[in-house]
Amino acid sequence: MVPLFYHPDAEIGKKVLRAIYAGGARLLEFTNRGDYAHEVFNELNKFAESELPELIMGVGSVTDGGTASHYMQIGANFIVTPVLREDIVTVCNRRKVLWSPGCGSLTEIARAEELGCEIVKLFPAGTYGPKFIKAARAPQPWTSIMPTGGVSPEYENLKGWFDAGAYCVGMGSKLMAKDADGNFDFQKIEELTRGALDNIRKIRS
């Protein structure tokens, strides 16, 4: 499971990182949104290196090769995109950094794999549903798909995706719980992360 989130305040971001780390997650996709998002990521990545040594951080919502290059320069370990763009592919392949493009058709998936993609992002997954993954993998069972958008921590939701053949899942708003005032509920985020990972282990076993 790849949790994903964005917040403009790095101090709040650090608390989110601690929560998902305590819940057992070891991957995080920081969403590239808002002004100075790269500065927030830079601070969070340095924090993770010193305080959460097993956490692997990458960046999502990257829409051009220049942005991908900049994030890799400040430590991004993987790049996730909402669409398939070959300028991003070029800079990631040059650095041997994993990239996962958003695809919504077999043609896009095939092109991404021809360019060297290991894990395709199905986005927005809620629009397509688990049946898309099952159908897509029928003629090409080697394809690894990560649905993002429409994935939640509940057992039945996760079971639907993994039974259909999902390789892993990305999870954002359904995991990043908030309290009545709209602030992140860090204890709840930790609990949801742990519960989601437990559900995934049960389903995959």
Domain borders along the chain are 2-204
Could you tell me if 120 and 98 are in contact, meaning their C-beta atoms sit under 8 angstroms apart?
no
Predicted pLDDT at 154: 97
121: exposed, middle or buried (C-beta count within 10 Å: 0-12, 13-18, 19+)?
Answer: buried
Give the C-alpha distances (Å, rounded to integers) separating 133 from 112, 140, 144, 149. 16, 11, 9, 14
**Cα–Cα distance measured from residue 130 to residue 163, given in angstroms and rounded to the nearest whole number:** 8
Question: What per-residue confidence (pLDDT) applies to 43?
Answer: 98
What does pTM read for this prediction?
0.95
Classify domain 2-204 by CATH architecture.
Alpha-Beta Barrel (3.20)
| Contact between 92 and 79 (Cβ < 8 Å) | yes
Q: What is the pLDDT of residue 70?
A: 98
Which amino acid belongs to residue 119?
I
Confidence (pLDDT) at 138: 95
- Model pLDDT, residue 116: 97
The predicted structure's pLDDT at residue 136:
96
Q: What is the pLDDT of residue 87?
A: 98
pLDDT at residue 66, as a whole number = 97
Question: For residue 169, what pLDDT is reported?
Answer: 98
Residues of the chain short of pLDDT 70, as ranges, are none
